[in-house]
Amino acid sequence: MELSIFSVFLVGLLGGTHCVGMCGGIVGALSLQLPNQAPQWRFHLAYSSGRIASYMLVGAIAGAAGASSLLLSDILPVKQALYLLANLLLVALGLYLAGLSSVVLRLEGAGDAIWKRLQPFSRKLLPVRSVPQALALGALWGWVPCGLVYSMLISAMASGSAFRGGALMLAFGLGTLPNLLAMGYFARQLKEFMQNRKVRLAAGLLVGGFGVLGLYRLFLA
């Protein structure tokens, strides 16, 4: 019943309207610190590889937690409840991407405690001078509080498996990759395009549509 791999990939891709606003400043700052003599694409790919690896790890943890909760499925409709929550969050996420609601942003406070512990380590990796250093920094970057990521983690939990939870977050991370790689080279142009109201509205409606479709399958199909 959980979201398909392809659906999650599309959510990551369409969520670029959020990513360029939230992570664009991070990407831009990191780009300015890169060694001039080194190919920049290697560093940007390393940043995102570390970030996606963190998404996979936390997705596997969420999936394992979901698997544990499903042991109660004979007593409580746990899977249905997780699926309902996942799709309601998708609808909320779609409204946020469309610029119609900011409810999803309230989720970001959930990760503040973890990020406050990890942020000092990220400072020690600056300025970045090597690809392994960029990979490590990207892995820490993956823990920056993000409502978009947390929304997807509910789907990872609903998958009821550490493997499927990790796979879903891998698909989501790969979906975010094109936007953030492009941000390293075309920051201003991409940000202007992604922040265009029509683009945000279209992306939000598509993401919200996944949630509506999931709710339809749960209650009417």
List pLDDT tens digits, range 74-126: 555 777 888 888 889 889 988 988 888 888 878 877 888 888 898 898 888 88
Q: Which two tokens stand for residue 161?
A: 């498996």
Q: Answer positive or negative: Cα dihedral of 106, 107, 108, 109.
A: positive
Query: DSSP letter at 39?
Result: -
- Ranges in the chain, pLDDT < 50: 1
Q: Which two tokens stand for residue 104?
A: 């999803």
Closest CA to 3 of 62, 87, 63: 87
Q: Radius of gyration over alpha carbons of the chain, in Å?
A: 18
pLDDT of residue 76: 59
pLDDT of residue 59: 95
Closest CA to 177 of 48, 4, 41, 10: 48
Q: How many Å apart are CA 202 and CA 106, to the nearest integer?
A: 23
Q: How many Å apart are CA 7 and CA 87, to the nearest integer?
A: 12
pLDDT of residue 6: 87
Report in angstroms the alpha-carbon separations of 142 from 56, 135, 162: 10, 11, 18
Q: Are 172 and 180 in contact (CB under 8 A)?
A: no
Q: Which two tokens stand for residue 190?
A: 């991409």
Q: Answer positive or negative: Cα dihedral of 24, 101, 8, 80.
A: positive
pTM to 2 decimal places: 0.86
Closest CA to 144 of 119, 174, 168, 121: 119
pLDDT of residue 1: 43
Q: How many Å apart are CA 151 and CA 82, to the nearest integer?
A: 11
Q: Are 89 and 151 in contact (CB under 8 A)?
A: yes
pLDDT of residue 123: 85
